[in-house]
Structure formats: C-alpha cells, structure tokens
Structure 1
Amino acid sequence: MKTRMLTALVTTATATALLAACSGGTKSASGAGGSKTLTLASVDQGSIEDVVKAFEKANPGVKVRYTTSGADQYQQQIRTQLASGTAPDVMSVWPGNGNPGATHVLAKPGYLRDLSDQPWAAKMPAAIKSVAQYEGKTYNAIFGQNGIGAVYNEQALKKAGLTPPDTWTKLLAFCRDAKAKGTPAFALGNQDNWVTQLVLYALVATTVYGPDRNFDQKMQAGRATFAKSEWATALDKYLTMEKTGCFQKNPLGTNYEASQQLAATGKTLGIVQGNWVIALLKGKNPEGTFTLKALPATDTPSQTLIPAAAGAGYGVNAKAKNPELALKFVKFVMSPQGMNLFVKKQGGLPSLPDTGYRADASLTELSAFITANRTVPFMDQLWPNAKVQQTMLSGLQEIFSDQSTPEELLKDMDSDYQAGS
C-alpha cells in the first residue's frame, strides 16, 4: 500500500501492499526444474533478495529462481499464469479481497494451497488471520504489518527549517511554506495507479473511521455508502492538498520510482506512502534518515488515525511443481529469522509476537498508534470484490487529469460495492 498495498498499501504498498515494488527482473539460480529448485514471484523488491540468500544458505543445494515486479504488473500477470499452469511455486498474495492478487480472489477458484496445517498459522493474531483466510482456511503467510503515512526526509526538513504538522491546518501551511522554499512537501507518483490511493486512505482513516469505527459493518449492511459519507470529505481534502501545492508538479507524469528519487534526494520533503518505501529510500540515499508520521486530516491531533494492517504475504501454488520446497520456504518466511529479515529491510513490523524484533526508530509513531489502537485496516481489504478498488484507482487518475469528478467516482465505487462478491 504494495498494497494495494493497500491495501496500497501497501504495502501494499504494498503495494503493495501492498500495497509494492517497481522495476522487475529475474534473479536466478540454477536451471529450472529439479527437486532443489524453487520458483518464486515477489513484489518485495529490496527485501526478498536477503530472504532468498538466507533461505539458500540454510538449505545447502537449494536454489531459488525468482522474479520481482511492481504491483500493477504483477496483478495483471499472476491470474493469467495461475489459470494457464505457468505460475511459480510461491507467489506474493495480498490480504483480504481488495485486488486481483488478494487472498479471496486467488483462493476461491482453487489456485492456492491450504496452509492451515502449518504451525505458524495458529499463531497469527485474529486481525491478521481474518484477512489471511478464505472460508475459514489459511492461504496467506503474512509476515508483516504495514502502515500508511507521511514519510519525511529528516535532512530535507532540517534544511527547510520545517517540522512535520500534526493538524490539518498546519499541514496546509506546511505545504505552502515548503512550496515557497522551492521544495514541495510530498512526492506523488500517480502515474502508477496503485499509488493514487495512499493519500486518500491516509485521510479516510481519520475522516471516516475517526467518528465511526463501524463504518465497514454499515457498508456491508447497506446502511452507508461512499458517496453519502465522509469519504467525500476525505477526497475533497486530497484535492485541496493538490491545489495547495502539497505535491510536485505533474503527479500523473511521475511514476513510483521517480517519486522515491524525489523524496530520497531531498527534492521533496517527503512522500505519502507505506512504511515499505523506507527501505527503498535508504537504498537511494544510504546517508538519509526517514521517519513515518501520521498524515493529519482534522485540527484535533488526538483524533488522528493511521491506516495499518497486514501487508502482502506469500501463498503456495496449489499446483506447485515443488510443493515440499514451497512449504519449506513459506515456513522460513514465517520463522523469526525470515520475518525479521523482511520487516527490518522493509521498515515494517512482524505479524507474529515473540520474534525478538526491535522496531526501527523510523516507525516509533506507527508502533505507538498500533499499541494505542489508533489504526484501521487498509480500506480495500474489507470490500466485497476487487472491482471497487480498480474503479477507485482509475477514477483517481481521471480526476487528476480533469476527466472525472469526485461525485462520479464515489457513485461508481458504490455501484461496484453493491454488486457484491
């Protein structure tokens, strides 16, 4: 969110999570086939590499052939590969039901192996287990929790003489001040459509769920809609940020990779993204310090919530050519060693307790919000079908290009939501 990743989130971004990574490629091992060769497709670029190396080291003779790609590209390809029998043994899978690569979407037609018998499955917290399962069975090895917020470049902030805002009014002032100094507040890579949701999700968390934690249940019962709710307020605030100059010029002409470069090098003061982006920013600027903060949507700081939820995990192909090695890899991912490797590299938090992991200082505020129950799930994870999110993503791009309106978008999202699963 990576996420869709967001799920976008992240995650996600995710997406990327979500909710997700950019630029793809194949990192290899030995030739295909053979009982000691595992095939893997991942969106965790920047972190899967270390996990693969550790897995191969722990299993002498085993080789992993893997590819990495961005969330959009990955989600377009994985269903086709599964349907044609060409999918890898292990693949990235998002929680819940919000996008084409999500747990429900892939488990329903029988593409994923049931992982309920794996020892880690019973240990997952209830909130994470609920989005890792389909019809009571676990299909997704979710190793981390992700959050969406404003990730600031501390050196750029210091140079600009500005501090992260904690209210909506201060946020707009922060954007105006940053623009006046020639350094926009946030990079926004809306050329990649999954990125469009992240600012909106960060605002929806507070505007929609702050006053009504039961909003999802009301939507499911038909007692609430996107169009006639605070979703309209959040979308208006998103566009207000754009009009105020919170983002660099031409977000639609900027992709995810380019937005990272802007934030990492101090051409913007930060980026609204999932915590997974921190590792990528550090990769582009090893000397930089990056910190995730909540993106405020009201003038009462105590009301602010953060979207935080299970990030993308890994599923096993029901027709894996090497099922034993696939299960072994997933078990490693869910071990303290594998989980900590992932979350340390991604700047995330482990999904299971007692891993001995110490959160990076960049996530101090996210950890505090999770502990204080000031978080809400990535919105799409609880939607009845993947079409709602796809409509939202394309609609947001159309709004940014003046081809649609907020009213039209929310109306279309309501139509897709009411169509059910």
Structure 2
Amino acid sequence: MKPRRLSAVAAALMAATLTAACSSGTNAGSGGKDTLTIASVDQGSIEPVVKAFEAANPGVKVNLTTSGADQHQQQIRTQLSSGTAPDVMSVWPGNGNPGATYVIAKPGYLLDLSDQPWAAQLPDAFKRLAQYEGKTYNALFGLNGIGAVYNDEAVSKAGLTPPGTWTDLLAFCRAAAGKGTPAFALGIQDNWVTQLVLYALVATEVYGTDKDFDTKMQSGQATFAGSPWANAMAKYQEMNRAGCFQKSPLSTSYEASQTLAATGKALGVIQGNWVIALLKQKNPNGTFTMKALPATDDAASFLMPAAAGMGYGVNAKAKNKELALKFVNFVMSPEGMKLFNEAQGSLPTLPTAATTVDPGLTELTTYVKDNRTVPFMDQLWPNAKVQQTMLSGLQEIFSDQATTDEVLKDMDADYKAGS
C-alpha cells in the first residue's frame, strides 16, 4: 500500500502547531539548584499541585510550562534529544503516541523510578503501562474515562434528557439541532480530539461482543479493516450527519469546544472526565454529568473506555534530579494525588488517596467498579504511528478526503509494522 500523503487540513494544522511551539519562547530546561522545570498538558489542574509543592518546600521555585497535547508531543522528543528538556514532563501510559512511556523510555530519555515508594503499589493494570522492560518510568496518578459529558442546565432548558440507546442518541441530536443548539461540541482542529468519539463507540461496538479483540490483533487473527471498528467509524459519521455536532468541527479548537459546552451553546461534549474541571472553570455555577455514549440499542452491553491517564516522568538528564524525584513523589503521595485528582476530576490509581470524586462521575465510577470498561485503544498498540495515522485519517474523513476503509487499512499497515 502506498504511504498516505498528509492531507491539506492536517498539514495546515501541523504547521500552526509548530508555529505555536516555536513562538512560545520557553526554555524549560533552565533553572538553578532550587528551581524545578516542568512541562505539562494538565492545564487547570497542575497549578494547585505546584502551589502546594512550593508551599511544602520553602525556597523552591517551579518553572511550569503548559501546552496542548499535540504541541507537547511534538516538542518533547526534540527537547530530550537536544538536552533542553525540562526536569519533569507529562508522559502518557503505554505506547500510543510520541510522548508515551515505551516510546521515550526505550532510547533512555526517562529516569528509572522503580525504587520510588509508590512504584510497587501500582495495580498491575496500571503498572504494565508505566513500565518499559520491567522498569517503572511513569508516575500514573489518575484513572480517566471517556464518555458524553452533559451540561445539565442546558439539556434541561432544551426540554431533553440524555439518551440511553443508539436510536435515542440520534433522536436527541436531531431534536437538539432543531432547537438551534448542537448536542455535542466537537473541537477536532486539535487532532487528538478526533479519537474520543470513536473510542467511546468502539468500547461497546468492538469490545462489547469480543473482549479478546486486542489479543486477536496481536496474534494476527483480527484487523481494523473488516472488523466492528468499521461499524464504529460509520456511526461516528452518522452522528455527524444527524447534526450531533456544531458546524465546522475542523475549525473548532479543543478550548473553543469547552466554551460551547460550558455556556450551553452546545448541550455537552464527548470527552475525557478531565474536561469537567475545565467546564467548571468557564461556568462555576454549572453542573456537568458524564454518561456512557450509546453505541447500540442494548444498554446492558455498554462499555466505557477507562484507563490510567497521563502521568509524569523524570528526564534522565534532569538538571535538578533530586527535586524532580521529590515532585513526582509528592504527586503520588495521598496529599498530592488528592489535589490532582480533585482538580482534574480523575479517579486515583492508589487506594491511599482520600479523593473526593466529582458527583458528575458517578456513572464512570460504577462502570469501573462493575468491570464494564476497556483500556484506551491505543495504549497497547505496537507503535505510535497507528494512532497518528488514525488521527490524521479521521480529519481527512471529516474533510471528505478519505474513506473509512482507506484509513483502517492504513492503520493495519502501521500496526503490522510492529514496534
């Protein structure tokens, strides 16, 4: 199969992201012996953690840089290879993207954290995503899920109720669109957002009938093309045709989608649970509830994507290694985890954290407790290219430059290439 050309849309978005990255002017790698440098994508939730860390360590100054996921992933490998990376950085679990544990631990960019007190306490499901070749490199503090997050007041004002089946979902979208308010804000100008609706559908559509699908993929017994992944992608497009999203999702950013959902210009957003804290920042008086996104008419079969969220790794060549270790251990302490989980709206990975869970996450908590979840699909894929092909491919589908079958076949080609 011929390699896919980067679409005009994807190329433009990448150019914009690179421009933003180059214009930030932040040298995250600089700092004195009492200065810690951190690069994070946890905008809105890391700030109280940093403030508490500084308060617990008088004289310590944290130089914090925050950015979007796309920008961070593009920058961090370059910074690590050039020796300009920060002491501590956002690192994703598993192997799904350029900033994931396996990808940046393999070349030796991350410090081994196996001897830190919390490493042995991570549950096995999280431990394997925090490790590379048996060594722990990622401080995974939170469990995240993906679903439909509703603006309760906006839904009530529209005279609607959150849908409980696939048929109800399409009717909900049409009714919302008929009232001039889209059901869900979709900000796929940031290409990482394209996967979330798909993952929410794939959880039920693929794994609801075959929880061993990943194992079959790994053994070559299954492929993306010709599998229920095609059904999930088709339903994603059907949602778009039914008016589930606002006009021009490709020209809407992640932050703009938050504003639409927070202010009631959309009835909700399909996102990770972390978005609830961001919506509350934009609308402090609002209430927001996460529910499973219906993918079939059998509610008993619904599953939700839920897995360890992004954590923190330490630069193997950190200028202030001691302070960096002190910070990640603070993040994984009961106090730090409680702060982070509550600010982010995530669930704790360790039982020692006395985290108060947002009431809007009751359904996610129940799904986790009842073992009705599946991992984020990319976390155990053999390389980061599969996800990148999927993300750019979904943007091409939305701009009518590619078909579902083409994108899935290209994902298969990348998957078969291995690690």
2:197–2:271 CA contact under 8 A, matched in 1: yes
Deviations, residues 340-373 of structure 1 (Å, cap 9, x unaligned):
1111111110111131122110100000000000
Q: Which amino acid aligns with 1:379?
A: M
Instruction: Give 1:34 shift.
Output: 2.0
State the partner residue of 1:347. 345
Partner of 1:164: 162
Per the alignment, do residues 105 and 173 of structure 1 end up closer, same or farther by CA in structure 2, a change over 3 Å counting?
same
Is the partner of 2:90 in helix, strand or coil? strand
Contact 1:26 1:68 in 2 (8 A): no
Residues 147 and 270 in structure 2, CA contact (< 8 A), matched pair in contact too: yes
Gaps of 5+ in 1: 1-21
The within-5 A match list for 1:37-56 is: 37-56=35-54
User: Which residues of structure 2 form unaligned runs of 5+?
Assistant: 1-20
CA positional deviation for 1:191: 0.7
Q: Which runs of at least 4 in structure 1 moved beyond 6 Å after TM superposition? A: 24-29
Q: Distance in 2 between matches of 1:33 and 1:45?
A: 21
Within 5 Å, which residues of 2 pair with 1:64-83? 64-83=62-81
Name 2:413's counterpart in structure 1: 415
Q: Deviations over 1:31-77 (max 9, x none)?
A: 94321110110000001110000000000111101100000000000
Name the CA shift for 1:150/1:133 in 2 (closer, same or farther; >3 Å): same
Aligned twin of 2:223: 225
Identity among equivalent positions (%) equals 75
Match among 211, 214, 221 for residue 213 of structure 1: 211
Q: Which moved more, 1:355-364 or 1:259-268?
A: 355-364
Within 1, Cα distance between the matches of 2:53 and 2:31?
18
Task: Give aligned pairs, total.
Answer: 398
Hey, what does 2:7 align to over in structure 1?
Answer: none
Correspondence 1:338 to 2:320: no
CA RMSD of aligned residues (A): 1.6
Residue in structure 2 matched with residue 17 of structure 1 by the alignment:
none
Identify the residue that residue 277 of structure 1 maps to in structure 2.
275
TM-score between both structures, scaled by the size of structure 1: 0.93
CA distance in 2, matches of 1:395, 1:417: 15
Q: Is the 8 A contact 1:347 1:362 kept in 2?
A: no
Q: Which residue of structure 1 lines up, in the alignment, with residue 393 of structure 2?
A: 395
Q: Work out whether 1:365 is the aligned partner of 2:363.
A: yes
Q: How does 1:14-413 map to 2 (within 5 A)?
A: 32-413=30-411
Superposed CA deviations along residues 158-191 of structure 1, whole A, max 9, x for unmatched, are 1001111111000001101111111110000011
Letter matched to residue 120 of structure 1: W
Which residue type is aligned with residue 87 of structure 1? A
Tell me the CA shift for residue 27 of structure 1.
9.7
Greater Cα offset, 355-364 or 56-65: 355-364
1:100-141 Cα deviation digits (max 9, x unpaired): 000000000000000000010011111111100001110000
Q: Could you tell me which amino acid in structure 2 is paired with residue 179 of structure 1?
A: A
Contact 1:25 1:68 in 2 (8 A): no
* In structure 2, distance between residues paired with 1:25 and 1:370: 39
Supply the distance in 1 between the matched residues of 2:132 and 2:155 (Cα, whole angstroms): 44
Query: CA, structure 1 residues 43+26, in 2 after alignment: closer, same or farther (shift >3 Å)?
Result: farther
TM-score scaled by structure 2? Answer: 0.93
